[in-house]
Amino acid sequence: MWLWTTVKSPFKGNQSRPWTEKESETLINLHINCELGRMQGWSREDCERHWKELYFSLFNDERCVADAIDAYYENGKTSRDWDKWEIQRLFFDPDFCKTTGRTKKEYTVHFYTILGMNFQTEHTSIKEGISAAVKAYHANHTSKPGTEKLKQE
């Protein structure tokens, strides 16, 4: 299954174009900072669709989540500690938070704290981790069957 996100480009009339690596990095940074607004030139729907593709490509391997959970437990916890089972559910079943008695704010802060730690795992900074994750995503998802790999801007 090929993940291919294109939209009508604001720069090229009705032609579609893929997301660039820089745009993907910016989108992840917006989410890490809990900002779900739209990026210039992309609709909110396009941003959310692309974010989901990036997110699921990152967490396709549950070891990524396990590494992030371990980093969380090594670096500190929130006021009401989350157990590892809760954190696994937090990543793979977002609606799970509705049944835990936790507030939406508590859920959101914890989710993005762990997500940020995931990007820092094996990297010196979250920014470096995001860059590596985006490069890996684009290396695996920027070609269609029967076409040459697209060069990123």
- Mean residue pLDDT of the chain comes to 68
Is there a contact between 80 and 103 (Cβ–Cβ < 8 Å)? Answer: no
Lowest mean pLDDT among 42-51, 67-76, 105-114: 67-76
Q: What type of residue sits at position 65?
A: V
Looking at the whole model, is its pTM more than 0.85?
Answer: no
- Which of 1-15, 42-56, 62-76, 96-110 ranks highest by mean pLDDT? 42-56
Strand 6-8 and strand 16-18: the pairing is antiparallel
Examine the pLDDT at 25 and tell me if it is beyond 80: yes
Tell me the CA end-to-end span of the chain in Å, nearest whole number.
Answer: 24
Rg (CA), the chain: 17
Q: Where are the domains of the chain?
A: 19-141
The per-residue pLDDT for range 62-77, each reduced to its tens digit, is: 666 677 677 666 766 5
Q: What is the pLDDT of residues 48-67, one digit of tens each?
A: 778 777 777 766 666 666 77
- Residue located via tokens 């997110």: 55
CB 37 within 8 A of CB 30: yes
CB 149 within 8 A of CB 135: no
The answer to whether the CB of 58 falls within 8 A of the CB of 133 is yes
